[in-house]
Structure 1
Amino acid sequence: MLSLRRILTVSATLGILLFLSFFLEQRLQAVAFRVVMLSGIAVVMAVSLNLINGFTGQFSIGHAGFQAVGAYAAAALTVYGHNRIFGNLPRSGQLPDTLQGFLLGAPAMICALLAGGLFAAVVGYVVGLPSLRLKGDYLAIVTLGFGEIIRVAVENTEAVGGPRGFTGNIREGIYIPNLTSFFWVYLMVVVVVVVSRNLRFSVQGLQYLSVREDEIAAQAMGVNTTRVKVNAFVLGAFFAGVAGALYAHFEQSVSPTSFGFVRSFDFVTMVVLGGLGSITGSVLAAVVLTALPEILRSSLGAEFNQYRLVAYALLLILLMLVRPQGIFGRGELRLDRLFGRKGGGGPAGRDNVEDQPAATELR
């Protein structure tokens, strides 16, 4: 049963997000608003990849493939299900920036998020079940191949635009609607962060960490390591699909080139830079590595794209030399430390627990 405190917390969070959504969309310039939106989507992607690479210690480098699955599935739903399911949406895809427009698009957005997440989760299960028996470099090769398979598949599927990309059903004049608002992006940010944090301190989270620390020891203690890794893979894929749905209905177009290896490399860089296993690190690294390139691109133009990967590679090399565990390591940003408060002498709460090797209570 939900407590009154939780109900008030959820209500306050929704109210704040709704207020900020209308306030920022009216006050921010187009470039600044784009940076805010893409940063939020990147946070969802980075935290979801951290569930796989950080919590269970796997090495997936094809995460953009799950984003592509979610983006195309959600976009196809809102375009081809327009007349039957969402007949009240404008055919041009443009909704008014008002409360009426938000309420008009809310049912379609919820369906798009669920479709993107569930399709990506199913694909994640199909890919993860056989491949997660592999380890290290072999798993990286499999996930890299998966990302390329998805890209080639959508390039050869005319129903979703093929290599030209997908903007809608041009023959009938129905286009991908602009359903993604600040509210939906940062609601998903809150959801993925809360789920990750609660998972980390749960029994299942202890199983995740035990697999990362010592898979052989975890098996000896009765942990089904394959099931644990597949669960993390499916959960990470689900949130990547949700991020894909957000991306598709923000850009109002999806293209195979948007989800290639370079994009997957961006997300791996975010997780490694922030610290494998650190939710806070993934969030901050995603914001910095999304906002900074967008700002530089608006200033330097196309020249920046030529040097972006070189800059990322140099950043990773420098990080490995100076702080190989990442900015936050496996720790989290704690409010009591941030504001200089000292805890009492009582037992440590969940927020005070550092990431320790999971050696007990795994069953």
Structure 2
Amino acid sequence: MSTVLQDRPKTVVVDVARLRRTRWHQQPRWRRLGALLALGALLTVMTGEQGSGKDLLYSLRGSLTSGRLWAFLGLGVAAWLLAELGAPVRTALRRAVRPAARARTWAAERRAVRLGGVLVVLALLIFVPLTLSKATNQVLVDWVGIYVLLALGLNVVIGWAGLLDLGFVAFFAIGGYSAAFWTGRLPVQPPVHLNPFLVIPVAMATCLVAGVLLGGPTLRLRGDYLAIVTLGFHEVIYLVAKNSDGLTGGSMGVFGIPHFSIDLGPIQYRWKLDPLDYWWLLLGLVVAVVLVLRRLEHSKVGRTWIAIREDEVAAAAHGVDTVRYKLMAFAIGASTSGAAGVVYASKVGFINPENFPLLYSVLVLAYVIFGGMGSVPGVLLGAGLLAWLPHALKDVVDQKDRFMYLGALLVAMMIYRPQGLLPARRRTSGGAK
């Protein structure tokens, strides 16, 4: 197809079809291949030779001339081939899992079957740790259980209300220091000493108030501006904890935070160093939080959060008090983080400001995105898998390189499945349109 443009001195022929044609290197398929190859080269440099002050290019030369480069590039090409050219394989897999998909649909329509599946999963989570080593159970408590709780709270803020919070771990720190204060381990003594079990609702209320105080003057902001404010809030909490020696113990931290205990007449039990006790405690808290969040998700509040996330201007035009509902999301998410802080502080018995770095906020955000923002099952799965990943790589990957592989996994995930492992139904249907 050609269009002839008449000009007085000469005739210019413009090939419109050629102008519209997309060059091969601009096609999405080849752009994804380029992204995977660049990711492989970046991983090679980041996990390769250490730098030298005498030779600035020593690390680059040593990394790019090693066999590790070809290994990473080969993995990238293999992933690309499997994702882009594996149509027959994907078709066969769909046919193979079609009965399972039908069974899943059948089970989803029957409440008794769903309840039975949940009970089976809970039974596995309760009894399987009995067969694991103490070190493995330690990872389950310190990483998987704690970060699942944090991810559930952040999912309310980011996944449902659409608020970008980069300082969420500040509420985790508030929960930890609340446990230290109400058990009498801070330089400032409380009016009454509480058992760590009683500190949990107190810490949740404290974090809820802190979320309201932070969100009240700032939730009229959006996007990057809100993210900067939450980032500043984390730094304020961190610096106050680090520099207030007479209030928080300063950089030396707080020692001797008591473990959980039950003292009800003849029933007496004290949590010790066995991680299994804390795993079961965290499992109970996660179940309680999930039940509450599922009720919220299908309530008027949950639907209002979804409306604000999808289009805040349209929601406000329909009479929704957007600031009020965003404030509720901030407060509820913060309270969940406070409960996790109490369990963590009581379990380790010692906290200082370095236990709550900004990196942890980024990790929790990555877990929520990886699992699927707005999806409670997705957040549970994503946080559990990624929190377990560094432990799974401990025998094959150097400790300082483990988070690099986590980053590579997230990049690959964003290339091929940006909606997450188990996305929310609303996000899936929205993306399909």
TM superposition score category, shorter chain reference? 0.7 to 0.9
Give 2:406's aligned residue. 312
Deviations 1:59-113 (A, max 9, x none): 1111111100011111221234799535xxxxxxxxxxxxxxxxxxxxx132121
Q: Deviations over 1:263-284 (max 9, x none)?
A: 0011000000011101111111
AA aligned opposite 1:122? V
* Corresponding position of 1:61: 166
Asked whether 1:77 is paired with 2:175, we answer no
Q: Match for residue 242 of structure 1?
A: 339
CA distance in 2, matches of 1:35, 1:189: 16
Secondary structure at the counterpart of residue 73 of structure 1: helix
1:131 and 1:312 mapped to 2: Cα distance? Answer: 32
2:198 pairs with 1:111: yes
Other structure's SS at 1:58 match: coil
- CA deviation vs aligned residue, 1:220-247 (integer Å, no higher than 9, x gap): 1111001110100000000001111111
The number of residue pairs the alignment matches comes to: 293
Of structures 1 and 2, the one with the larger relative CO (CA 8 A, separation 6+) is: 1
- Runs of 5+ unmatched residues, structure 2: 1-114, 261-270, 272-276
Q: CA deviation at 1:29?
A: 2.5
Q: Out of 358, 364, 375, which is 1:261 matched to?
A: 358
Kindly provide the CA deviation profile for residues 173-232 of structure 1, in whole angstroms up to 9, marking residues without a partner as x. Answer: xx4335572332111101111111111100111100000111111011111001110100
Question: Where does 1:1-363 land on structure 2 (aligned, <5 Å)?
Answer: 28-38=132-142, 39-80=144-185, 85=193, 108-158=195-245, 159-168=247-256, 175-177=257-259, 179=271, 181-297=278-394, 299=395, 303-304=398-399, 306-331=400-425
| Preserved contact between residue 393 and residue 402 of structure 2 (Cα < 8 Å) | no
| 2:419–2:428 Cα contact (<8 Å) kept | no
User: 2:179, 2:293 → 1: CA distance?
Assistant: 24
Choose 139-148 or 46-55, whichever is displaced more.
139-148
**One-letter code aligned to 1:319:** M
- The alpha carbon displacement at 1:24 in A equals 7.3
Amino acid at match of 1:192: V
Percentage identity across aligned positions? 34
Task: Give how far 1:288 is off.
Answer: 1.1
Q: Equivalents in 1 of 2:428, 2:129: separation in Å?
A: 38
In 2, are the aligned partners of 1:164 and 1:255 still within 8 Å (CA)? yes
> TM-score, structure 1 length as denominator?
0.73
Distance 1:354 1:131, change over 3 A: closer
User: Structure 2: which amino acid aligns with 1:226?
Assistant: V
- Contact 1:166/1:255, CA 8 A, preserved across alignment: yes
1:52 aligned partner, one-letter code: V
Question: How far has the Cα of 1:27 moved from its partner?
Answer: 5.5
Q: Does the 8 A contact of 1:116 with 1:242 survive in 2?
A: yes
Separation (CA, whole Å) in 2 of partners of 1:49 and 1:154: 22
Q: Greater Rg, structure 1 or structure 2?
A: 2
1:238 and 1:225 map into 2 onto residues whose CA distance is 20
CA contact (8 A) 2:181 2:190 kept: no
Q: Does the 8 Å contact 2:196/2:258 carry over to 1? A: no
Distance 1:84 1:28, change over 3 A: farther
Alignment partners' CA distance in 2, 1:82 and 1:27: 41
Q: CA deviation at 1:119?
A: 1.3
Would the aligned equivalents of 1:167 and 1:176 in 2 still touch at CA under 8 Å? no
TM-aligned CA distance change 1:354 to 1:127, over 3 Å:
closer
Bigger mean CA offset, 229-238 vs 120-129: 120-129
Contact 1:78 1:177 survives alignment (8 Å) = no
Residue identity matched to 1:205: G
Counterpart AA for 2:216: L
**Code of the aligned partner of 1:114:** P
- Look up the equivalent residue of 2:141 and give its one-letter code: M
Contact 2:129 2:137 in 1 (8 A): yes
Shift of 1:324: 1.1
Counterpart-to-counterpart distance in 2, 1:205 and 1:328: 19
